[in-house]
């Protein structure tokens, strides 16, 4: 009787250790981006309902406090990703940081206000050797902007917060999809090592291409409510086993 195995070529695309490491980095990115999204989404510059505290309004002190909160949030998420090594190992994290920098240096359609860039509020960036942009605030510039156009200053800060929140939301969605897929891959790797290496499942000629294609196709529909990749592959092996007996 031929002993059967999960298709080596399909699972060989991803080693167990590399899959688990990728899953860990992506999970940490998901957590960091989610927290950052909550922070900037709660920030509502110029509104008394600002999510960073109480008694905020449309005065100069509120603008300064909310601008500092935004700066701290951006710096914090980048330091988190860089300090934990996620930035160096995750393309998604790199793209996220680059998008934050693009938003910080970009311009906004701010109605009739001449304040269209964060630098006009005194918020500027200095790029580090790690590719992150550390933000800082020049309070004199912020005060001048508020004195010239209070409503425009708050509106600009609000638009920046919304744009940053949208960027974080996009990263969260992408990271969640990657976590789901990598989780399946890591699980399949563990299954293969546990059963394949123990001799319960051994290499099987024939059917490898079909099973491999099925795995790759099913990975695209993880969580859709259908059979999981693991269930499909086990079913293939069971079918092959019965066929060999007949």
pLDDT for residue 156: 97
Number of domains the chain is built from: 2
**φ/ψ (deg, to 5) at 123:** -95, 110
Quick check: is 198 in a domain? yes
Same domain, 96 and 52: yes
Q: Are residues 172 and 184 in the same domain?
A: no
Residue 2 lies in a domain: no
User: CA 191, CA 14: separation in Å to the nearest integer?
Assistant: 13
213 and 171 fall within a common domain: no
Instruction: Tell me the pTM.
Output: 0.68
pLDDT score, position 74: 96
- In this predicted structure, what is the pLDDT of residue 53? 66
Residue 223 domain-assigned?
A: yes
Whether residues 143 and 75 share a domain: the answer is: yes
Sheet strands (E) in 62-200: 123-127, 133-137
Please say whether the beta carbons of 95 and 170 come within 8 A.
no
Name the DSSP class of 107: B
Tokens at residue 147, please? 């004195």
Q: Identify the pLDDT of residue 206.
A: 44
Q: Which of 171, 162, 72, 80 is nearest to 123 (CA)?
A: 72
pLDDT value at residue 84: 77
- Residue 1 located in a structural domain: no
Asked if 183 and 168 sit in the same domain, the reply is no
Residues 125/200, Cβ–Cβ less than 8 Å: no
User: Which of 157, 177, 197 represents a domain boundary (last residue)?
Assistant: 177
Contact 186, 16 (CB under 8 A): yes
91-105 and 60-83 are packed helices; what angle lies between their axes, rounded to 10 degrees?
A: 160
- The verdict on 166 and 187 lying in the same domain is no
Q: What is the pLDDT of residue 13?
A: 40
116 and 230, same domain (yes or no): no
Q: Say how far apart CA 80 and CA 164 lie, in whole Å.
A: 16
Cα separation of 74 and 214, whole Å?
A: 42
Angle between helices 150-191 and 139-148 (to 10 degrees): 130
Nearest to 163 by CA among 108, 95, 81: 108
Give me the tens of pLDDT residue by residue for the chain, a chain 246 residues long.
444 443 443 344 444 445 455 667 888 999 999 999 999 999 989 887 776 766 688 899 999 999 999 999 999 999 999 987 888 888 999 999 999 999 999 999 999 999 999 999 999 998 776 667 799 999 999 999 999 999 999 999 999 999 999 999 999 999 988 776 655 554 545 445 444 444 444 444 444 444 554 554 555 454 445 555 555 555 555 555 555 555
Regarding whether 200 and 185 lie in a shared domain, the answer is yes
The answer as to whether 239 is a domain residue is yes
Q: Indicate whether 136 and 173 sit together in one domain.
A: yes
Instruction: Using only the alpha carbons of the chain, give its radius of gyration.
Output: 25
Which residues constitute the domain of residue 155? 19-177
Please tell me the predicted confidence (pLDDT) of residue 185. Answer: 53
Pair (149, 27) in one structural domain: yes
Last residue of a domain, one of 132, 156, 177: 177
Which of 177, 206, 225 is a domain's end point? 177
Does residue 212 share a domain with residue 229? Answer: yes
Please state at what angle helix 150-191 crosses helix 91-105, rounded to 10 degrees.
Answer: 170
> Rounded to an integer, what distance in angstroms lies between the CA atom of residue 74 and that of residue 235?
48
User: Is residue 3 domain-resident?
Assistant: no
Same structural domain, 49 and 163: yes
């Amino acid at each position: 009787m031929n002993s059967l195995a999960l298709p080596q070529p399909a699972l060989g695309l991803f080693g167990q250790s590399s899959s688990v490491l990728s899953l860990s980095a992506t999970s940490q990115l998901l957590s960091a981006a989610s927290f950052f999204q909550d922070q900037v989404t709660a920030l509502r510059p110029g509104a008394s309902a600002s999510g960073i505290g109480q008694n905020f309004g449309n005065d100069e002190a509120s603008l300064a406090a909310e601008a500092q909160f935004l700066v701290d949030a951006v710096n914090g998420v980048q330091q988190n990703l860089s300090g934990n090594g996620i930035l160096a190992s995750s393309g998604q994290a790199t793209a996220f940081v680059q998008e934050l920098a693009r938003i910080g240096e970009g311009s906004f359609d701010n109605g009739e206000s001449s304040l269209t860039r964060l630098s006009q509020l005194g918020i500027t960036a200095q790029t580090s050797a790690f590719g992150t942009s550390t933000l800082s605030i020049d309070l004199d510039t912020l005060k001048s902007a508020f004195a010239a156009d209070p409503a425009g200053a708050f509106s600009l800060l609000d638009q920046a917060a919304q744009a940053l929140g949208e960027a974080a939301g996009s990263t969260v969605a992408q990271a969640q999809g990657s976590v789901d897929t990598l989780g399946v891959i890591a699980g399949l790797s563990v299954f293969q090592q546990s059963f394949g290496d123990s001799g319960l499942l051994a290499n099987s000629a024939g059917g490898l291409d079909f099973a491999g294609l099925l795995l790759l196709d099913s990975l695209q529909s993880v969580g859709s409510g259908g059979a999981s990749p693991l269930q499909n592959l086990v079913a293939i092996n069971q079918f092959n086993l019965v066929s060999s007996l007949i």
